[in-house]
A and B are shown apart, each in its own frame.
Chain A
Amino acid sequence: MGKTLAEKILSLKSGLDAVAGRIVVAQVDLVFLQDGTGPLSIRQFEKEFKKVFDPQRVALFIDHASPSPRKELSGDHIFLRHFARKQDCRLYDVGEGVCHQLVAEELAGPGNVILGADSHTSTAGGLGAFACGMGSTDIAVALALGETWLRVPQSFKVELEGRLGKGVYTKDLALHLIGKIGADGATYKALEFGGDMASDMDISSRLTLANMCVETGAKAGLFPSDEVTREFLRSQGRENCFIPVSPDADAVYEHMIKVNVSKLEPTVSLPHAVDTASPIEEVKGMRVDQVCIGTCTNGRLPDLEVAATILKGRKCHPHTRLLITPASRRIFQEALGLGLLQIFMEAGAVILPPGCASCVGVHQGILGDGEVCLSTANRNFQGRMGNPSSFIYLGSPASAAAAAVKGEIADPREFL
């Protein structure tokens, strides 16, 4: 019987016939943690173990509260740096970027099994890796053993056809899909993407979609690896990581979802749930106090380019703050080289250092009581951005830029 992408990768990494439903122990290619979940992981690790399984396959990231806004967090950062030195493993310090972006740029490859102490670890599925978020103790054990137990997930096949219309982006598709599946509609499953439109997608878009799969409850979101993947890896100087991975033609899926993306419109999710996708038309005119462009979902170069197209020669509305955060140092530098940061500055934006910025409510843009934010992030739970009495809408970088200019939720197509 044919295998899905998830079954293929987990068979390879467990040495077993990994069919959906079976529990396997899989070898892990990369284990990583960040400054929010890492300190607890390390304390758990140090209770039982001495050495990480392979320093080359372990990475630490200081991205969530970066640079540190409080002395307690500075203490956590020192703790992580000390562990990295002691174990001789990689540490990405303040200003280098969001863990998932750096994993995609430097560490992940097709066919890998990747575990991260962060729910959006699924992002690397855009490169064909089985990448899965876990909590601190699971990560502590993976750091020591280089393996973990997994229930091989049933997969949903998501067939993407058609072409996105003007002003409509992968983020709109992601929100639409989550609305369709529901916040728990794919719990314990893997989402596997296919169809002509998926093959045509660039890596940045694939990462956006894989990133948001967890918002359906899924364990992983997976794209096959192909020439687009190879080209991306080559551009990062890592072509040697490339292997082709694709599902068998006769693989068995629990569920088939077909989306013709040509019909999609700019879409936003409403407060306080991600699966409340709604055409932007229905919330047009809602006053917006803060706009955030960035995060592991939409802080990549094509996202910034779209925002710059709209912001060029325009100004942010006087009552709207615009915060822009490139997802990594490399993206920051590319944006600088292309003159995008100049455009943002002239529009009145604040440019934040690569990292998570205001996404998780720790620093750099906490909302005030009653304030409304339109963010390109992946979550809008109550209190997510630091204040339970505020309201977060999620949208594409284009919708975000349009809102910054108009001071209210607006259709980005008006500006393109």
Chain B
Amino acid sequence: MLEGKAYRMADNISTDHIIPGRFFHLRSNLPELAKHVLEDADPNFKQKVKAGDFLVAGKNFGLGSSREHAALVLKLSGIGGILAHSVARIFYRNAINIGLPVVICDTHNVSHGDELHLDLRKGVVEDKTQGTTLSLSEVPQVMLDILACGGLLPYIKKYGRFNV
């Protein structure tokens, strides 16, 4: 079970919003890179976000480039998980692979600051502030297993190969 407060984001947040190409030269310096997380989409994000917050986005979160740095800088900023109406394919795998939970559910009625409880095993998110329960789209077992191990590398270390 994960707990955190909702940090609202818009639809169509691209990997160029999360970490733009102009910081390409910082990709081998993740702490420096993370200072620029989401600065084009939400200039105060870095100051406002709290450890454990859930990013709550609209549709097609993470569209665009394959840069895994996008998922990494969100994790480094303390984001505990991502809830989105829909998630771009590569970003989805990338986040799970680094142990950052991403779930797909109807996020329309979640407000900024809502208290959220995420239960991956049961497949639900409870919005404690609004007293509602959102059900999650089904996550493939292999992704749940990767998350349970804390990411893809520990998963492969445990199983030696893909165990599907």
Distance of A360 Cα from B71 Cα, bound (Å): 18
B64 at the interface (CB under 8 A from A): yes
Distance of A44 Cα from B155 Cα, bound (Å): 13
Minimum Cβ distance to chain B for residue A348 (Å): 27
Contact A360-B140, Cβ < 8 Å, known A137-B68, A382-B17? no
**Is A138 a contact of B20 with CB atoms below 8 Å?**
no
B94 at the interface (CB under 8 A from A): yes
Minimum Cβ distance to chain B for residue A375 (Å): 14
List the one stretch of B22-30, B45-53, B105-113, B118-126 in contact with chain A. B22-30
Minimum Cβ distance to chain B for residue A144 (Å): 8
B14 at the interface (CB under 8 A from A): yes
**Is A145 a contact of B88 with CB atoms below 8 Å?**
no
A366 at the interface (CB under 8 A from B): yes
Interface residues of A, count at CB 8 A: 58
Contact with A along B87-99 (1 / 0, CB 8 A): 1111101100110
B31 at the interface (CB under 8 A from A): no
> Which chain B positions have C-beta within 8 A of A187?
60, 86-89
A217 at the interface (CB under 8 A from B): yes
**Is B66 a contact of A135 with CB atoms below 8 Å?**
yes
B37 at the interface (CB under 8 A from A): no
Q: Which of A25, A76, A144, A383 is within 8 Å of B22, CB to CB?
A: A383
Interface residues of B, count at CB 8 A: 46
> Which chain A positions have C-beta within 8 A of B69?
40
Q: Which of A135, A144, A151 is within 8 Å of B71, CB to CB?
A: A135
**Is A388 a contact of B28 with CB atoms below 8 Å?**
no
Minimum Cβ distance to chain B for residue A135 (Å): 4
**Is B68 a contact of A135 with CB atoms below 8 Å?**
yes
B78 at the interface (CB under 8 A from A): no
Whose C-beta in chain B lies nearest to the C-beta of A117?
Answer: B66
A83 at the interface (CB under 8 A from B): no
Distance of A48 Cα from B65 Cα, bound (Å): 25
A36 at the interface (CB under 8 A from B): yes
**Is A137 a contact of B94 with CB atoms below 8 Å?**
yes
A64 at the interface (CB under 8 A from B): yes
User: B residues within 8 Å of A by Cβ?
Assistant: 12, 14, 16-17, 20-22, 24-29, 40, 59-60, 63-69, 71-72, 86-91, 93-94, 97-98, 140-142, 151-153, 156-157, 161-162, 164
A265 at the interface (CB under 8 A from B): no
> Which chain B positions have C-beta within 8 A of A44?
153
A278 at the interface (CB under 8 A from B): no
Distance of A23 Cα from B145 Cα, bound (Å): 14
Number of A-B residue pairs with CB-CB distance less than 8 Å in the complex they form: 152
Distance of A48 Cα from B149 Cα, bound (Å): 15
A149 at the interface (CB under 8 A from B): yes
> Which chain A positions have C-beta within 8 A of B71?
135
Contact A386-B66, Cβ < 8 Å, known A25-B164, A137-B97, A184-B86? no
Q: Which of A136, A141, A183, A366 is within 8 Å of B12, CB to CB?
A: A183
**Is A381 a contact of B14 with CB atoms below 8 Å?**
yes
Distance of A188 Cα from B89 Cα, bound (Å): 6
A-B CB contact pairs (8 Å), 28 listed? A23-B140, A23-B141, A24-B164, A40-B27, A72-B29, A76-B27, A119-B65, A119-B90, A133-B66, A135-B66, A135-B68, A135-B93, A135-B94, A137-B153, A140-B153, A141-B152, A148-B162, A187-B89, A217-B60, A360-B24, A360-B65, A362-B22, A362-B24, A366-B22, A382-B17, A383-B21, A386-B21, A387-B22
Whose C-beta in chain A lies nearest to the C-beta of B20?
Answer: A383
Minimum Cβ distance to chain B for residue A308 (Å): 29
A368 at the interface (CB under 8 A from B): no
Known pairs A118-B66, A137-B98 / 7 extra A-B pairs, C-beta < 8 Å: A44-B153, A76-B27, A134-B94, A138-B97, A184-B63, A360-B65, A384-B20
Distance of A360 Cα from B20 Cα, bound (Å): 9
Distance of A69 Cα from B25 Cα, bound (Å): 9
Contact A184-B67, Cβ < 8 Å, known A36-B24, A48-B156, A362-B24? no
> Which chain A positions have C-beta within 8 A of B72?
40
Within 8 A of B (CB), among A361-407: 361-362, 366, 379, 381-388
**Is A72 a contact of B94 with CB atoms below 8 Å?**
no
Distance of A382 Cα from B13 Cα, bound (Å): 10
